[in-house]
Amino acid sequence: SAVISQKPSRDICQRGTSLTIQCQVDSQVTMMFWYRQQPGQSLTLIATANQGSEATYESGFVIDKFPISRPNLTFSTLTVSNMSPEDSSIYLCSVEAGVVRETQYFGPGTRLLVL
Amino acid sequence: DAKTTQPTSMDCAEGRAANLPCNHSTISGNEYVYWYRQIHSQGPQYIIHGLKNNETNEMASLIITEDRKSSTLILPHATLRDTAVYYCIVSRLFGGYNKLIFGAGTRLAVHP
């Protein structure tokens, strides 16, 4: 498995501003993922971040709104840009780790409230 | 990607076995069944996964039917700490990684 931390754990932001969320893992991993969980909903994949290449975004998510960096094999950031109240969600990162079959392990999440 | 169908909610008495069903009738031959759970206000926790054989680990057992169209997650002795939303996910390798599509899951309530 892998131990994943996220910063900040929670934040309250004003609309129109941006927030950068950090994800740190305790071992080198190739694939990192970012998810969004809106209030009362399940998780939705935002994008996949492979070190050394541009992030791959899922349908409905664009780089201008959710820019992602992946500078090395243990770290990634997700920025939520020009926020609106609809961006209030839990944002989670995950990594793939495993021996026989890659399994995703999740961080604790960042709880974002946009006023 | 194959979809899954799970009951919206289930109850279980503490100390009893919790059997959580999942239907994945459109699963294809190279797709795995994964189970995760999400305890309130935490990130999802990996439980177990399997392809066609039954699997067991320290947390749970996974029983997959012979035709692979359904599976059951078994928590052998449920405790209050097992109260969570349980997600059954059918996953396949996609562009070199394991793509997880989360459904609504089953909300399991374990009561004394």
pLDDT tens per residue, range A5-53: 999 999 999 999 999 999 999 999 888 999 999 999 999 999 999 888 8
| Greater model confidence, B95 or B91 | B91
Q: How many CB pairs under 8 A join A and B?
A: 47
pLDDT tens profile B2-27: 689 999 999 999 999 999 999 999 99
Report the run of H or E that residue A112 belongs to, with start and end. Answer: strand A110-114
Return the pLDDT at A67. 97
Residues from chain A contacting residue B42 (CB–CB below 8 Å): 108-109
**Is A106 close to B98, i.e. CB distance below 8 A?**
no
Q: Let me know: does B24 contact B3? Beta carbons within 8 Å.
A: yes
Return the pLDDT at A101. 62
CA dihedral sign of residues A49, A54, A60, A64: positive
Q: Is A113 on the interface with B (CB under 8 A)?
A: no
**Is B87 close to A42, i.e. CB distance below 8 A?**
yes
**DSSP strand pairing (B84-94 vs A89-97):** unpaired
Q: Percent of chain B at pLDDT above 90?
A: 80
Q: Is B34 on the interface with A (CB under 8 A)?
A: yes
**Is B97 close to A45, i.e. CB distance below 8 A?**
no
Q: What is the C-alpha to C-alpha distance for residues B112 and B106, in angstroms, rounded to an integer?
A: 19
Residues 6+ apart with CB under 8 A from B112: B13, B14, B80
Q: Let me know: does B21 contact B9? Beta carbons within 8 Å.
A: no
Return the pLDDT at A81. 98
Residues from chain B contacting residue A101 (CB–CB below 8 Å): 32, 49, 98
